[in-house]
Homo-oligomer: A and B are copies of this chain.
Amino acid sequence: MFSLSITPRFSETDALGHINNTVVPVWFESAREPIFKIFNPNLDLSKWNLIVAKIDVSFIAQMDYQAETEIRTYVEKLGNSSLTLKQQVVQNDKVAAEGFCTLVKFNYDVQKSEPIDDTERKKLLEHQFQA
């Protein structure tokens, strides 16, 4: 599991007094940084090699501005050139939102997917979800 600690920003609240639902995909993307580094250790923008194919988010409980927040990121599934992550927003020891994200290893130069190699695969498998 990868864990990212987040302090909610005031600008991330909305008029209903909680964290706006569009913020969760932003938090989840920021929590994927260690995944980005497995594929691109220096986060070199000219060598970016991941593309997002699909995301979903289930909103389980209202998220508070005042609560320290943890984003948990697990590897859920590992395919030939794609992987699916499970990500959670945890506040006060409860999962407030949960989602999946499918990423594809992608060669932007030739605009085609590429197989995940063994080194990447090994690192990813260390972060698998265990129920």
Contact = CB atoms under 8 A, between A and B. Distances in A.
Interface of A: 7, 9-11, 13-18, 20-23, 25-26, 29-30, 33, 36, 42-43, 45, 48, 51-59, 65-66, 108
A54 B24 CA distance: 11
A117 B18 CA distance: 27
Contacts of A51: 59
Nearest to A13: B15
B22 A7 contact: no
B21 A25 contact: yes
Given A7-B30, A16-B48, A55 B54 contact: no
Nearest to A51: B59
29 contacts: A9-B30, A10-B15, A10-B20, A10-B30, A11-B14, A11-B23, A11-B30, A14-B15, A15-B17, A15-B65, A16-B48, A21-B25, A21-B29, A21-B55, A22-B22, A22-B25, A22-B26, A25-B57, A42-B66, A43-B66, A51-B59, A53-B58, A53-B59, A54-B56, A54-B57, A54-B58, A55-B56, A55-B57, A56-B57
